[in-house]
């Protein structure tokens, strides 16, 4: 196997963590399921389709940033050794643009994608080998923080950690601070991270991006219930559920829900338990918090980083922010 998979016998076992999160989330009131479990093999394929949608602007915005400013970013590492650690790498298309700039800047490069889906990792490795012949790739299948912990014991090279897209928006503000602080604690002085932030903007633009005409976002959310069926022996009937995405003007977040359209009881064999749902009862599945520039600056300082640069697209809809461990 060309990548490293965190052992299922370890405390970082993703299958056991998924089962525990489902049990905990569906036992809460209101019920919730973590968005980190969207990305099994099926979910990863659906998200690639979302990124190609006309309404889903973050992909094009971030690609524009790398095309406009990739040379500037790469120039900061000119002639150095560097591990580029790509958290939640997806299809690697945007990262590929940055890797081109890094190679042109003479960087001795190793690419370390991290993803919880083995299927996504296999596809990514194939694409990167075709796009970048000779590129050293050392993938890690697992969750982000355990993967960084594993990497810290297997490499002493400087690191640039990428957390692209609007992934940081999936955390509320306290959890975002805690997550980035954990990233900071796994790095060394002089290491860098490049974090993508979706900015506050016209609410109609946001609503369209999370409620696309083709229904791909709907299918992406419903796949979370299908995953419970596949992996945990759940008995969710998807016809009894609908996706609902809305914007919370108070918190500044897009919020996604799966709503039960009837009173029902759903058994999950692996948990040896059934869960009752009232008619129109929601399961919360995702936050996607939006930011202002001053929020980003404050977040960097709070989590122990020095802000090096802010890179924005032409519409100021998205920012990739480069931070350094000081």
Q: Which CATH number fits domain 56-202+292-325: 3.40.50.150, 3.40.10.10, 3.40.50.720, 3.90.1300.10?
A: 3.40.50.150
Q: pLDDT > 90: what percent of the chain?
A: 75
Nearest to 162 by CA among 80, 97, 220: 97
Listed by start position, the domains of the chain span 20-50+203-289, 56-202+292-325
Given this model, what pLDDT does residue 259 score? Answer: 98
> Using an 8 Å Cβ cutoff, are 265 and 278 in contact?
no
Task: Give the model's confidence band at 74: pLDDT under 50 very low, under 70 low, under 90 confident, else very high.
Answer: very high
| Residue 153 backbone phi and psi in degrees, to 5 | -95, 0
Nearest to 297 by CA among 287, 289, 308, 288: 308
pLDDT-wise least confident of 86-90, 175-179, 202-206, 269-273 = 86-90
CA–CA distance, 233 with 270 (Å, rounded to integer): 6
| Mean pLDDT in residue range 211-226 | 97
The tokens describing 298, both together, are 């404050």
Read off the pLDDT of residues 113-146 as tens digits, 9 standing for 90 and up.
Answer: 988 777 778 888 888 888 999 999 888 888 787 8
């Amino acid at each position: 196997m060309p990548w490293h998979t965190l052992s299922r016998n370890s405390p970082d076992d993703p299958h056991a963590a998924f089962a525990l999160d489902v049990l905990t989330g569906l036992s809460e009131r209101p019920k919730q399921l973590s968005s980190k479990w969207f990305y099994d093999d099926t979910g990863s394929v659906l998200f690639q389709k979302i990124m190609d949608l006309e309404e889903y602007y973050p992909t094009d915005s971030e690609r524009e940033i790398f095309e406009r400013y990739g040379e500037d970013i790469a120039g900061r590492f000119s002639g150095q050794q560097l591990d580029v650690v790509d958290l939640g790498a997806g299809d690697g298309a945007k990262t590929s643009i940055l890797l081109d700039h890094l190679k042109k800047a003479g960087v001795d490069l190793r690419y370390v994608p991290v993803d919880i889906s083995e299927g996504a990792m296999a596809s990514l490795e194939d694409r990167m080998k075709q796009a970048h012949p000779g590129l050293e790739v050392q993938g890690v299948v697992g969750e982000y923080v355990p993967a960084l912990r594993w990497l810290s014991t297997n490499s002493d090279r400087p690191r640039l950690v990428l957390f692209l897209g609007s992934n940081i928006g999936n955390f509320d503000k306290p959890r975002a601070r805690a997550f980035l602080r954990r990233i900071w604690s796994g790095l060394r002085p002089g290491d860098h991270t490049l974090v993508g932030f979706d900015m506050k903007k016209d609410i109609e633009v946001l609503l369209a991006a999370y409620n696309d005409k083709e229904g791909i976002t709907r299918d992406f959310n419903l796949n979370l219930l299908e995953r419970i069926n596949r992996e945990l022996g759940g008995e969710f009937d998807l016809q009894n559920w609908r996706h609902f995405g809305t914007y919370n003007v108070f918190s500044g977040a897009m919020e996604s829900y799966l709503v039960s359209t009837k009173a029902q009881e759903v058994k999950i064999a692996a948990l040896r338990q059934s869960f009752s749902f009232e008619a129109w009862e929601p399961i919360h599945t995702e936050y996607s918090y939006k930011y202002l520039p001053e929020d980003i600056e404050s977040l960097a300082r709070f989590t122990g980083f020095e802000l090096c640069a802010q890179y924005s697209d032409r519409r100021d809809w998205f920012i990739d922010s480069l931070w350094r461990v000081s």
